[in-house]
């Protein structure tokens, strides 16, 4: 509590780092608090994940992102953002989780983490959306062979794998597991592969399904998971599938409860959209800002690195005007 910061940034991902770079440019006294590793969400992505964006659209701090391939992968992105940290020497505490943010009557914020307490005039929440899975809420979802995150295919080779969903994460996992020898079945709530699946991947999964290499149940949902089986409801009625593993890659969401606890107004519909000024990114709590994917609530496809990098300039510009 000895240091009174101009700004505390919660989240050490690309957008949190962009905010810190901008704050550093204006000479603000700032601190990033990151609950995990640097760019923790990217670190937890699948090992061979490829970005939809090109390298230049992932750049921050006017530092070029050199990439041989048309689209960078996870490893290249981690290398790039590590180099950003080396270059700017951002003031960041890694592996420190923020527990609460409370605005005081005097106008400043008290930020409580699992390692201490901080005093700040302004706070930016740039926590992304990858920490909390969207659960199916079916019996057996908590069994140890049910996974909500996917890292690589080796563990699933030569096993019966049920993949839930038809978005990028589900499609990537299904194809990778099939290529490594898994018997893959997809359970898909709608009648087709999602249109937002990467354009160079979508024809591949559709062709594998068409030829029968990967089985797919469309307009279907899981109703129960047991040790060795998955029960699903389909247009033809109930079916039972054998399953050694279930990859329930049904999406992720921001920590809406944390936003509410900070005093941020959130829409009471299914979108859970937080309130903020689109010109400054300031929420209904003066001095408390949102940046990046978290701004979209449950619409996690609305904001991503390439179109939310500008939030850093908008936020810091307003902070500087208010100081």
- Does residue 15 contact residue 303 with C-beta atoms inside 8 Å? no
What pLDDT was estimated at residue 78? 98
Residues 35 and 150 in one domain: no
- The alpha-helical segments, DSSP class H, found in the chain are 14-25, 40-43, 74-88, 168-179, 202-211, 256-261, 305-308, 311-322
Residues 64 and 166 in one domain: no
Average pLDDT over all residues of the chain: 96
Structural domain ending residue among the three candidates 200, 225, 248: 248
The pLDDT-based confidence of 312 (bands split at 50, 70, 90) is very high
The pLDDT-based confidence of 70 (bands split at 50, 70, 90) is confident
What pLDDT was estimated at residue 2? 57
Tokens 């700040």 belong to residue: 120
Residues 113 and 185 in one domain: no
* pLDDT tens per residue across span 230-260: 999 999 999 999 999 999 999 999 999 999 9
Give pTM, 2 decimals. Answer: 0.94
* pLDDT tens per residue across span 158-209: 999 999 999 999 999 999 999 999 999 999 999 999 999 999 999 999 999 9
Residues 242 and 272 in one domain: no
The pLDDT-based confidence of 69 (bands split at 50, 70, 90) is confident
Rg (C-alpha) for the chain, rounded Å, is: 21
* pLDDT tens per residue across span 2-22: 568 999 999 999 999 999 999
Q: What is the mean pLDDT of residues 139-165?
A: 97
Residue in 207, 17, 213, 214 with CA at minimum distance from that of residue 124: 17
Residues 110 and 126 in one domain: yes
What pLDDT was estimated at residue 142? 96
In whole angstroms, what is the distance from residue 179 CA to residue 198 CA?
18
Residues 216 and 276 in one domain: no
Residues 144 and 181 in one domain: yes
In whole angstroms, what is the distance from residue 53 CA to residue 56 CA?
8
Residues 118 and 264 in one domain: yes
**What residues make up the domain containing 163?**
135-248
* SS3 category, 95: coil
The residue ranges of DSSP E strands in the chain, in sequence order, are 4-10, 30-33, 92-93, 98-103, 109-113, 116-125, 132-133, 146-147, 160-164, 183-187, 215-217, 221-225, 229-234, 237-242, 245-248, 252-253, 288-290
Query: End-to-end alpha-carbon separation of the chain, Å?
Result: 20
What pLDDT was estimated at residue 1? 53
**CATH code (residue 168):** 3.50.50.60
Residues 266 and 278 in one domain: yes
Task: Give how many domains the chain has, as a whole number.
Answer: 2
Residues 228 and 151 in one domain: yes
In whole angstroms, what is the distance from residue 33 CA to residue 112 CA?
10
Residues 110 and 61 in one domain: yes
Q: What is the mean pLDDT of residues 146-151?
A: 97
């Amino acid at each position: 509590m000895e240091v009174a910061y101009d700004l505390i940034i919660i989240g050490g991902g690309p957008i949190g780092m962009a905010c810190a770079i901008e704050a550093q440019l204006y000479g603000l006294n700032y601190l990033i608090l990151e609950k995990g590793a640097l760019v923790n969400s990217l670190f937890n992505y699948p090992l061979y994940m490829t970005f939809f964006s090109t390298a230049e659209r992932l750049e921050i701090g006017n530092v070029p992102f050199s990439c041989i391939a048309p689209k960078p992968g996870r490893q290249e992105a981690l290398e790039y953002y590590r180099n950003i940290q080396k270059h700017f020497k951002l003031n960041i505490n890694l592996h420190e989780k923020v527990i609460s943010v409370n605005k005081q009557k005097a106008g400043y914020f008290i930020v409580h983490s699992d390692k201490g307490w901080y005093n700040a005039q302004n706070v930016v929440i740039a926590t992304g959306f990858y920490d909390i899975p969207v659960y199916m809420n079916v019996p057996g979802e908590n069994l140890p062979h049910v996974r909500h995150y996917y890292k690589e295919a080796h563990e699933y080779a030569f096993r019966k794998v049920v993949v839930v969903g038809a978005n990028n994460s589900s499609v990537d996992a299904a194809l990778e597991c099939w290529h490594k020898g898994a018997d893959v079945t997809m359970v898909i709530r709608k009648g087709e592969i999602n249109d937002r699946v990467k354009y160079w991947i979508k024809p591949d999964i559709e062709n594998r399904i068409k030829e029968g290499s990967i089985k797919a149940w469309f307009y279907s949902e899981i109703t129960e998971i047991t040790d060795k089986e998955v029960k699903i409801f389909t247009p033809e009625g109930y079916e039972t599938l054998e399953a050694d593993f279930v990859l329930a890659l049904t999406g992720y969401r921001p920590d809406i409860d944390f936003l509410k606890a900070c005093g941020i107004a959130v829409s009471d519909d299914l979108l859970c959209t937080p309130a903020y000024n689109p010109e400054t990114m300031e929420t209904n709590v003066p001095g408390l800002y949102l940046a990046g994917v978290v701004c979209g609530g449950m619409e996690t496809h609305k904001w991503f690195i390439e179109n939310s990098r500008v939030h850093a300039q908008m936020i810091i510009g307003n902070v500087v005007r208010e100081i």
